[in-house]
A and B are shown apart, each in its own frame.
Chain A
Amino acid sequence: MTYRPLALAAAFLLPALPAAAQGQLNLYCSATLEWCQPIARGFERESGIRVNLTQKSTGEMLAQIRSEARNPRGDVWWGGTGDPHVAAGEENLTQPHESARITELHDWAQAQWRQTQGRTVGVYASVLGFGFNTELIARRNLPAPRCWADLLNPAYRGEIQMANPNSSGTAYIIIATLVQMMGEEPAFDYLKQLHGSINAYPRSGTAPITAVARGETALSLSFVHNAAEEAAAGFPVGHAVPCEGTGYEIGSMSIIRGARNLPAAQQFYHWALSAPAQIIASQEAKKLQTMANRGVPLTDGAPNMATARIIDYDNARFGASAERRRLLGRWDREVGALPR
Chain B
Amino acid sequence: MSIPIKTTGAEVRLTGLGKRYGQVQAVKPLDLVIEGGTLVTLLGPSGCGKTTLLRMIAGLEQATEGRIFIGGRDVTLLSAGERNVSMVFQSYALFPHMSVLENVAYGLVSSGERKQAAHAKAEAVLETVGLKGFGGRLPSEMSGGQQQRVAVARALVLEPDVLLFDEPLSNLDTRLRRTMREEIRALQQRLGLTVVYVTHDQSEALAVSDKIVVMRNAGIAQAGAPEVLYASPDSVFVATFMGEANHVRGVIESVTGEHCVLALDSARLTLPGRGLPPGPVDAVIRPEAIRIAPPDTPNGLEATVTRATYMGSHTEYYFGTAVGELFAQGADRLRRRQPGEKVRLLLDEEGVVVVRP
- Contact present between A and B (CB < 8 A): no
